[in-house]
Amino acid sequence: MNDLLSHKHKDVREKVRQLLKDPEFDLDLISRDKNVFREQTLKWSQLLADQGLGAIAFPEKYGGMDDMSKYVIAFEELAFHDLSLLIKFGVQFGLWGGSVYWLGTEKHHDKYLNDIATLKIPGCFAMTETGHGSNVRDLLTTAVYNPDRETFTIHSPGPEAGKEYIGNAACHGQMATVFAQLKTLGEDYGIHAFIVPIRNTDGSSIDNVHIIDNGHKLGLNGVDNGRIYFDNVEIPRENLLDKFGAVDKEGNYTSPINSPGRRFFTMLGTLVGGRVAVPIGGLSATKKALTIAVRYASKRRQFGAEGKQETIILDYPTHQRRLLPLLANAYAYHFALHYLSERFTNRTEKEAQEIEALAAGLKSMSTWNTTATIQECREACGGKGYLGENQFADLKADTDIFTTFEGDNTVLMQLVAKSRLAEFRKEFGKMNVSNILRFLKDQAETIVLEKNPVVTRRTSEEHLRSEEFLTAAFSYREEQWLSSVGMSLGSAIRSGKDSYNAFLDHQNACINLSKAYIDRVTLEQFNKVVTSAEAEIYDVLKDLRDLWALSNIEADKGYFLEQGYIEGAKSLAIGSQVDELCAKLKKNAVALVDAFGIADQLIKAPIVQS
């Protein structure tokens, strides 16, 4: 079972692992003084760049492997080390490098990619503004073309237009990809990206670029975030990253994509890689927290029967209930996120929208799970969990922003729902009246079939733990949310409500719809792993799958009962199965965290040193 979660891309994985064993990567070097920590993080990033890890996602021509899924593996491994380093790495090579690669053209690649991959040019990804985080389309920074000088003027028209929380900005960044409203010859062409120098090699700011340190943050204090303001900064015309929109000498704008809306979403879509990598990094932190909490729980004793040795705390049903479903979650998201990574790496244009929705949804669900899991692990280790030395402090603080950056989860879940609803509308729109009637009749029949008392009341272990029941329940929930929100939205819009306000009325339902979708996809991936598992690990993986799926249904039992999909007795039986699976999996809990494969020297918590 040892390499169950780490058999992919062993080349990159081993390279990172070996590198992190270098004494230069000693975690004890981390300082609580953010200035010292920031320099350490830069130094570590340089060591990674020197080994060619900065170029993984770039073409071979620029020293890379042209493989996004390998970049994701590097992210997964680096996150076991330190999360400030991970984010610094992601800012430099993923965001700054990635934006030049995906939004620029060959001239930009030739000029910059090598220097980015080797960290010769530290840079920033300057999208978010103080006034606009989620709503990127309405950013205020402007880029006005000056035909006479063949330059763009980059400008922040007020404090709300300052670029906010920009990694690498406070200390190290020399250039930035700046997102701004492109204006030329009196026309506004919307958001485009520009390469803007912000700092000289001696560390001083470029004239008319004002940078303010974001100061102390909740976590990730090894990353130098800052605000950047541009006061009419002129850059050459060539600094427009012009893959999706170019301006010629005279100022004429051209784009391979005519629709401004589609152009905007295509540009942003190329940057979705962050939404694949970030949750994987968060999941590594989750695994580290679980490793510590489970190992501790398997040794720590407290209370017990009179006159006997105290009880191991993992033997307490409450403790099993706290940790084991979270352990199952970590496996579930591991399988789902690696599926996403492969699909993203090999995506065709036709699949792009589906994969973007999947990335947005999985990023959200998985990072929420990260926050919840690390919290529970901290609490499950009591006062020991509160001491800095036992590692939860940094894991918690550093990952807390994962639910916000690369897209606020609540906003992303609305996007996922909209994408699903668009599919639903497409399907529905194709139908004529008789097809719609047949669809509704089929759906009603399925529901009658599934809601038959024989099914809603079945409580046998065999039934509850069958792939058939689990898949049917997850699919029912997904389809029910989709069709009920879809129908209800449709009728609101038909009755004259504008689509913005109609959606507003269904915001909370949209989140349920998106969750149901991601849960169904995650179950499918877990099922695949179970089906193809080797004999010796089949049982434990099926137990884990069952625990994950049944505790998911249990947490949402109000919904299933409300719908009449299950009856009270079945709901109670599901709860009992969860209890039994927790008790059963307890025996394998340590082996299951060992299988995360985190190097011993990275688990420094004294509470798990024997």
Q: Please classify residue 535 by burial: count the beta carbons closer than 10 Å to its beta carbon, then call 0-12 exposed, 13-18 middle and 19+ buried.
A: exposed
Which one of residues 36, 185, 212, 218 is an interface residue with a copy of itself (CB under 8 A)? 218
Residue with Cβ nearer a copy of itself (29 or 206): 29
Count of residues that interact with a copy of itself, criterion CB under 8 A: 73
Which one of residues 67, 115, 354, 408 is an interface residue with a copy of itself (CB under 8 A)? 408
> Amino acid identity, residue 1?
M
Are the beta carbons of 17 and 77 closer than 8 angstroms? yes
Give the span between the Cα atoms of 516 and 289, in whole angstroms.
Answer: 27
Q: Give the number of other CB atoms < 10 A from CB of residue 374.
A: 28
Rule CB under 8 A: is residue 389 a binding residue for a copy of itself?
yes
Rule CB under 8 A: is residue 215 a binding residue for a copy of itself?
yes
Q: Which stretch binds a copy of itself (CB under 8 A): 52-60, 409-417, 479-487, 517-525?
A: 409-417
Q: Please classify residue 157 by burial: count the beta carbons closer than 10 Å to its beta carbon, then call 0-12 exposed, 13-18 middle and 19+ buried.
A: exposed
Residue with Cβ nearer a copy of itself (234 or 580): 580
Could you report how far apart the first and last alpha carbons of the chain are, in Å? 23
Which strand (E) or helix (H) includes residue 18?
helix 10-20
Which one of residues 36, 504, 591, 599 is an interface residue with a copy of itself (CB under 8 A)? 504
How far apart are CB 230 and a copy of itself at their closest, in Å? 20
Helix or strand or coil: residue 97? helix
Half-sphere exposure of 421 (CA within 13 A, CB side): 25
406 noted as active-site residue: yes
How far apart are CB 280 and a copy of itself at their closest, in Å? 20
What residues from 274 to 303 belong to the interface with a copy of itself (CB under 8 A)? 302-303
485: tokens are 């929100």
Which one of residues 186, 258, 429, 500 is an interface residue with a copy of itself (CB under 8 A)? 500
Which one, of 391, 336, 343, lies nearest residue 369 by Cα?
A: 336
Parallel, antiparallel or unpaired: strands 233-236 and 151-155: antiparallel
Are the beta carbons of 138 and 115 closer than 8 angstroms? no
Task: From the candidates 406, 450, 478, 567, give the one annotated as an active-site residue.
Answer: 406
Rule CB under 8 A: is residue 214 a binding residue for a copy of itself?
yes
How far, CA to CA in Å, does 165 sit from each of 197, 215, 276? 18, 10, 21
Residue with Cβ nearer a copy of itself (77 or 394): 394
Residue with Cβ nearer a copy of itself (6 or 128): 128
254: tokens are 């051209």
Measured in whole angstroms, the distance separating CA 582 from the mean position of its chain's CA atoms is: 28
* Window 67-96: contact mask with a copy of itself (x via CB under 8 A): ------------------------------
Residue with Cβ nearer a copy of itself (354 or 579): 579
How far apart are CB 200 and a copy of itself at their closest, in Å? 27
Rule CB under 8 A: is residue 448 a binding residue for a copy of itself?
no
Rule CB under 8 A: is residue 551 a binding residue for a copy of itself?
no
What residues from 110 to 129 belong to the interface with a copy of itself (CB under 8 A)? 128
What residues from 505 to 534 belong to the interface with a copy of itself (CB under 8 A)? 505, 507-508, 511
Which one, of 63, 61, 72, lies nearest residue 94 by Cα?
A: 72
Strand partners, 331: none
Rule CB under 8 A: is residue 261 a binding residue for a copy of itself?
no
Which one of residues 183, 275, 396, 477 is an interface residue with a copy of itself (CB under 8 A)? 396
Which one of residues 1, 27, 246, 393 is an interface residue with a copy of itself (CB under 8 A)? 393
Residue with Cβ nearer a copy of itself (131 or 197): 131
How far apart are CB 453 and a copy of itself at their closest, in Å? 15
- Beta-sheet strand order (sheet of 226-230): 163-166, 226-230, 209-213
Which strand (E) or helix (H) includes residue 191?
strand 187-197
Half-sphere exposure of 607 (CA within 13 A, CB side): 27
Q: In terms of DSSP H, where are the helices of 6-119?
A: 10-20, 34-50, 68-81, 83-89, 97-103, 106-108, 114-117
Residue with Cβ nearer a copy of itself (112 or 392): 392
Which one of residues 52, 133, 190, 251 is an interface residue with a copy of itself (CB under 8 A)? 133
Rule CB under 8 A: is residue 306 a binding residue for a copy of itself?
yes
Strand partners, 254: 246
Rule CB under 8 A: is residue 29 a binding residue for a copy of itself?
no
Which one of residues 253, 316, 428, 439 is an interface residue with a copy of itself (CB under 8 A)? 316
Helix 409-430 and helix 433-450, axial crossing angle in degrees, nearest 10: 120
Q: Please spell the DSSP secondary structure of 220-269, one letter per residue.
A: -TTS--EEEEESSEEEEGGGB--SS-EE-TT--EE-S---HHHHHHHHHH
Rule CB under 8 A: is residue 471 a binding residue for a copy of itself?
no
Give the span between the Cα atoms of 98 and 80, in whole angstroms.
Answer: 23
What residues from 172 to 201 belong to the interface with a copy of itself (CB under 8 A)? none
Which one of residues 2, 146, 259, 501 is an interface residue with a copy of itself (CB under 8 A)? 501
How far apart are CB 23 and a copy of itself at their closest, in Å? 22
368: tokens are 């929420």
What residues from 31 to 50 belong to the interface with a copy of itself (CB under 8 A)? 32-34
> Angle at CA 217, nearest 5°, toward 379 and 329?
40
Are the beta carbons of 557 and 456 closer than 8 angstroms? no
Parallel, antiparallel or unpaired: strands 175-184 and 123-126: parallel
* Window 134-173: contact mask with a copy of itself (x via CB under 8 A): xx--x-------------------------xx--------
Residue with Cβ nearer a copy of itself (164 or 543): 164
Residue with Cβ nearer a copy of itself (39 or 554): 554
What residues from 553 to 582 belong to the interface with a copy of itself (CB under 8 A)? 554, 556-558, 561-564, 568, 571-572, 579
Rule CB under 8 A: is residue 305 a binding residue for a copy of itself?
yes
Which one of residues 204, 216, 468, 536 is an interface residue with a copy of itself (CB under 8 A)? 216
How far apart are CB 318 and a copy of itself at their closest, in Å? 5
What residues from 352 to 381 belong to the interface with a copy of itself (CB under 8 A)? 371, 375, 378-379
How far apart are CB 137 and a copy of itself at their closest, in Å? 9
Which one, of 568, 565, 357, lies nearest residue 474 by Cα?
A: 565
Q: Supply the DSSP symbol for 310.
A: P
Rule CB under 8 A: is residue 224 a binding residue for a copy of itself?
no
Which one of residues 201, 254, 258, 318 is an interface residue with a copy of itself (CB under 8 A)? 318
Which are the catalytic amino acids?
Answer: 406
